Structure 1
Amino acid sequence: MTTTHGYAPVNGLEMYYEVHGTGAPLVLIHGSFSGIGTSFGRLLPHLAKNRQVIAVELQGHGRTADIDRPLTIPHLADDVAALLRHLDVGQADVLGYSLGAGITLELARRHPELTRKLVLVSLAHAESGFNPGLLEGMSALEPAHLEGSPFHQEYLDTAPNPQDFPTLVAKVKRMTEENPYWSAEAVRSVQTPVLTVIGDSDIVRPEHAAEMFRLFGGGVAGDVAGLPNSRLAVLPGTTHVTVVHRADLLAPMVEEFLDAPVTQND
């Protein structure tokens, strides 16, 4: 399997990326506090068997050093868009996890010409989509709470400035507190086919995932109306942290969704 890596100069960042495999491009965008390894270490090898997987590390995460700029989902989406243009990727499928799913949705809204299909893993488009207490817990998070975790260890192992971990925690907390989310109309405006994925014990409520599925055009009587281009998957026995570890379930679903033809049911 072909593997390359490098840094791209985008929007004031030296943004780290890896390219695995060959074929149609699939971009992977990790979650908060995470990097390529902790988010996609188990899933990436499966997806790269038949695709060119482009895995990125966002501002202040992993091997991409922080800059004097707040973390915001629009900024991070524009960074990914700039990276794709730097790599001369005309259009790609995009899989985002947690924070990365929000960036994926925003990328499709801001740069629709770059996205073909989306896989949104563990995304809430509104604050009400989270299970009770989750956001309050994030506001109380301190760097010491993550010490010894796989996310902290990955940061220590890969970050160019390992001492900056408290800064990352502070910036992620501020981004979470100031996140404007997306209206139902904004979600509905995305014309790209979407596979919405959560774990059945995720931080996102199952009812909210079903609501998003409907906004993307799903939730119809397929035998009558035809199967929609968007899909919904709830992985059994799966938490927020482990949803991207379930490569046994997730990889076949993603591959089948990405390979499926787009039908005109509207």
Structure 2
Amino acid sequence: MGYARAGSLDVYYEEHGEGDPPLLLLHGALATIETSFAAVLPELAKCRRVVAVEQQGHGRTRAGDHPLTLESMADDTAAVLDQLGAGPVDVLGYDLGAGVALHLAARRPDLVRRLVFVGHAFDRDGFHPGVLDGVARLTPAMLVGSPFERAYAAVAPDPSGFATLVERTVALETGMTDLHPDEVRALAAPTLVVVGDADLVRPEHALRMFRLRGGGVPGDLVGLPAAQLAVLPGTSHAALLARPDLLLALVLPFLQAH
């Protein structure tokens, strides 16, 4: 564990396990490495060098002086990988981290070999109606005593900064930059799109992204595409990473595929 410099920001990262290519883990909104990946990281580290980072204002990384956006977090993440000499990597992003991963793949295609995109959307229309309205109404007071607040208080350099993180995250999620379908189509990295059948993301949007990434073709006639789609049954958004029995059975073969 340590810190890597990204502009004026010191970004916290951890490394676990051994094996190439490295696997980058990008956590969800308001989360830490542990709150997002505790259920899957030990298994992933058995076969890969796993690099996990905590984004600006999250966990052990202090709030920086630049805006909290998907683009800025993608650039911060790229700076960490450059300093560690870890690229190209496979990337597993969950929730907000999936958005960061998508922008990383678009801005630094040299760093991303394969992309696992879990529980997020490439534009705001990808969420069920009302989801972002609910995010807009979220206040720090609603999260008092939540696992997010407790995890932050346990590791953050300034535990009093949680309210600010919530406010900045609400602004990020409700004003996130949409990627144009042509930008999604142009990504170089083979992509596994993962949603729950009771996710915050509309299943139609996951299918749309899958098709933009080259999926949805008759594989028996033209060969299997580089994109894959997985809809986890009986799974809500919050439960996506709490189902290692389902998730790892899909992710590991995808990462090992030729």
Q: TM-score, normalised by structure 2?
A: 0.98
* Correspondence 1:228 to 2:220: no
Hey, what's the Cα distance between the residues in 2 that align with 1:109 and 1:133? 28
2:19 to 23, 41, 44: 23
Hey, what's the Cα distance between the residues in 2 that align with 1:136 and 1:121? 21
Shift of residue 12, structure 1, vs aligned partner: 1.2
1:81 to 73, 78, 89: 78
Moved >3 Å (runs of 4+): none
1:112 to 109, 113, 129: 109
Secondary structure of the structure 1 residue equivalent to 2:255: helix
Please provide the CA RMSD for this pair: 0.8
* Correspondence 1:162 to 2:159: yes
Hey, what's the Cα distance between the residues in 1 that align with 2:214 and 2:256? 19
The residue type equivalent to 1:140 in the other structure is R
After TM superposition, list the pairs within 5 Å mapping 1:62-211 onto structure 2.
62-211=59-208
* Correspondence 1:258 to 2:258: no
Secondary structure of the structure 1 residue equivalent to 2:121: coil
CA distances 1:217-266 after superposition (whole Å, capped 9, x unpaired): 001111111111110001111111110111111112111001011xxxxx
* Correspondence 1:52 to 2:49: yes
CA distances 1:199-219 after superposition (whole Å, capped 9, x unpaired): 110000111100100000001
Secondary structure of the structure 2 residue equivalent to 1:62: coil
Shift of residue 90, structure 1, vs aligned partner: 2.8
* Correspondence 1:6 to 2:8: no
The residue type equivalent to 2:12 in the other structure is Y
Hey, what's the Cα distance between the residues in 2 that align with 1:149 and 1:237? 24
Hey, what's the Cα distance between the residues in 2 that align with 1:179 and 1:128? 11
CA distances 1:83-117 after superposition (whole Å, capped 9, x unpaired): 00110113100010011001101001100001100
The residue type equivalent to 1:216 in the other structure is R
* Correspondence 1:213 to 2:210: yes
Instruction: Note if contact 2:70-2:177 (Cα within 8 Å) is conserved in structure 1.
Output: no
Aligned to 1:242: 239
Shift of residue 52, structure 1, vs aligned partner: 0.3
Hey, what's the Cα distance between the residues in 2 that align with 1:251 and 1:159? 29
Hey, what's the Cα distance between the residues in 1 that align with 2:77 and 2:87? 13
Residue range with higher mean Cα deviation, 5-14 or 92-101: 5-14
Hey, what's the Cα distance between the residues in 2 that align with 1:75 and 1:11? 11
Aligned to 1:264: none
Hey, what's the Cα distance between the residues in 1 that align with 2:102 and 2:177? 13
Residue range with higher mean Cα deviation, 109-118 or 176-185: 176-185
Secondary structure of the structure 1 residue equivalent to 2:254: helix
Percent same amino acid at aligned positions?
51
Hey, what's the Cα distance between the residues in 2 that align with 1:91 and 1:101? 17
The residue type equivalent to 1:107 in the other structure is L
